Structure 1
């Protein structure tokens, strides 16, 4: 049997990782400035993370949600405290797309409406409902293109207000920062207006913090810069440092009923052990503060590079617009051993582990400056 050929990938077989560093099966070393789409939050093979998982393996690897799992309740308390959402309720699942599917379902159950407002340029996942609110028709089949969704431009307050005033909107979903679109940040005013208009029109505000959450932007959730409190928050990528886990944080005004949501693997014992280790490490090592410090340092050191058309972001979620982005990204990897990401055709996306220091930042800056000078002069 062969693999279903859907991925365009580098011919690099990674076999080891420690902190922000990786190595392949040929002994080549790499600096990870992308974290596997922002998944690696506390660094590869963190000792406390490995301890938590190994210890749990010796106890119990899995049982379904047919039995009580104290690890879920302990983790929910940790997450509520570090995020500032202690009064909210938590549903655990497996991926960002699944979290968004459940968020949309909860909203519809709550207000008995179906229409969703999403933002142009959005990416919310590849399952049926998540694809319907993802602004990329190429990814949607006829099967999942039938949902009632309207897209409005980011920060277009008037368009949002007009759609909500029709009275048939179940939810508005906004990414804390759009990652796939190119690290596009909603204005604080737009988020405040969205919160206000949703409340006035019996619609729920959902913040997709799957990539922008878990301390990546210098606050636990990116929307907290705006001082708002969404009805539902989804989170995933940095949550398990590579172990699949996702969550839906749900306002206490939304009432649960038995069977409303469900999952076989969600919130299993190993995933809770991984997620607990992540929060404990973020707190112990002050990684949210570190994301601010190193993010500011990167912005300051890169701001005078003439090859940069624009630079956006918060903390360690950074987008750099470049004329020859693809060439620069390839050189960073092939000539300097630095993994980065891409958003579209011109934005280089940086999502390194929150644990990186000045040394790793300088390694990236030095390579980036040398390459952009060469590409520009060449």
Structure 2
């Protein structure tokens, strides 16, 4: 059977990884500054993470949500403690798309309304409602098209208010920092006014922290760089460090009923073991503080390059926008310098390394990046 070919692939076969490094089948060592789409939070193959999952698998790996799974509450308690939103309720699922799908559904249940506002260049997943509010027509199938999805310009509060005034908007969903959209950070004043206007018109505010959350921005959630308190927060990616897990954090005023939300695999024993291990490592190794420190260093150094049009982000979620396509830059970094980076569109490099990235590794990247830019721009 052939694979359904929907991904462009690098001609690399990773076989081993540790911390911020990966090795391929040819024995080449790479510095991973992409973390598999921001998934690797505490580093590859962390011994505590591996041991926690192994120990759990030796006891019980899976049963359905028809029984008490104590690890779910342990994860919820630890997440509340580290994130600072311990008064929220947690619904566990398997991915960021599923977390957003359930957030949209819950908002519609709670308000009795149908419309959802999202923002230009935003990405919220590939399930039905999530893809409908994602600003990428190429991935919206005819069955996903709906008049209930309203996509507005980012940071334009007046257009949002015009829609909210109709009092038919169930929720506004916004990324803490846009990822695929190019590491675009919502203006703090816009987020704060957005929260106020949602409350004014009875709409819920959903913060999509799937990519920007879990310490990546130097705060547990990126919205915590402001003073807002969303109704719903979605998370995934770094939550499991590679093990599929997602979560929906729900403010206490929203009350559930049996059957409102559901999942077969969400919150299973192994996923919870992975999630707990991630939080324990983040706390013990102060990885949120490290992301803030190393990210600040990187952004200051990168801002000094005249070839870069703009440096955006917080912590270790960084976007480098160029005036021209960056394919050659990424290719040289990967093939010659053995450094993985990400991309957004054609002109933006995304840096999403593990939160354990050290200052030495950051300095190493800068030196290699400097070599690549000098070589390419000298050729130009």
Using structure 2 for the length normalisation, give the TM-score.
0.99
1:93-112 maps to which residues of 2 (within 5 A)?
A: 93-112=93-112
After superposing on structure 2, the runs of 4+ consecutive aligned residues of structure 1 that deviate more than 6 Å are none
| Shift in Å, 1:303 | 2.1
Q: Which residue of 1 aligns with 2:145?
A: 145
| Shift in Å, 1:146 | 2.2
Equivalent position SS for 1:31: strand
Equivalent position SS for 2:297: helix
Q: Tell me the distance in 2 between the aligned counterparts of 1:340 and 1:97.
A: 23
Q: Tell me the distance in 2 between the aligned counterparts of 1:356 and 1:345.
A: 26
Q: Which residue of 1 aligns with 2:361?
A: 360
Q: Tell me the distance in 1 between the aligned counterparts of 2:335 and 2:309.
A: 23
Equivalent position SS for 1:97: helix
Q: Which residue of 2 aligns with 1:350?
A: 351
Q: Which residue of 2 aligns with 1:210?
A: 210
1:177-192 maps to which residues of 2 (within 5 A)?
A: 177-192=177-192
Q: Which runs of 5+ in 2 are unaligned?
A: none
| Shift in Å, 1:147 | 5.0
Using structure 1 for the length normalisation, give the TM-score.
0.99
Q: Tell me the distance in 2 between the aligned counterparts of 1:116 and 1:324.
A: 33
Q: Tell me the distance in 2 between the aligned counterparts of 1:302 and 1:315.
A: 13
Q: Tell me the distance in 2 between the aligned counterparts of 1:252 and 1:301.
A: 42
| Shift in Å, 1:304 | 1.7
| Shift in Å, 1:300 | 2.0
Equivalent position SS for 1:298: helix
Q: Which runs of 5+ in 1 are unaligned?
A: none
Do the aligned partners of 1:311 and 1:320 also contact (CA within 8 Å) in 2?
yes
Q: Tell me the distance in 1 between the aligned counterparts of 2:221 and 2:353.
A: 17
Per-residue CA distance 1:171-206 (angstroms, 9 max, x = gap): 000000001010000011111111111111111000
Q: Which residue of 2 aligns with 1:223?
A: 223
Q: Tell me the distance in 2 between the aligned counterparts of 1:72 and 1:2.
A: 38
Q: Tell me the distance in 2 between the aligned counterparts of 1:86 and 1:313.
A: 26
Do the aligned partners of 1:129 and 1:147 also contact (CA within 8 Å) in 2?
no
Equivalent position SS for 2:321: strand
Q: Is 1:341 aligned to 2:346, yes or no?
A: no
Q: Which residue of 2 aligns with 1:22?
A: 22
**Structure 1 vs Structure 2 CA RMSD:** 0.7
Q: Tell me the distance in 2 between the aligned counterparts of 1:355 and 1:332.
A: 21
Q: Which residue of 2 aligns with 1:79?
A: 79
| Shift in Å, 1:325 | 1.1
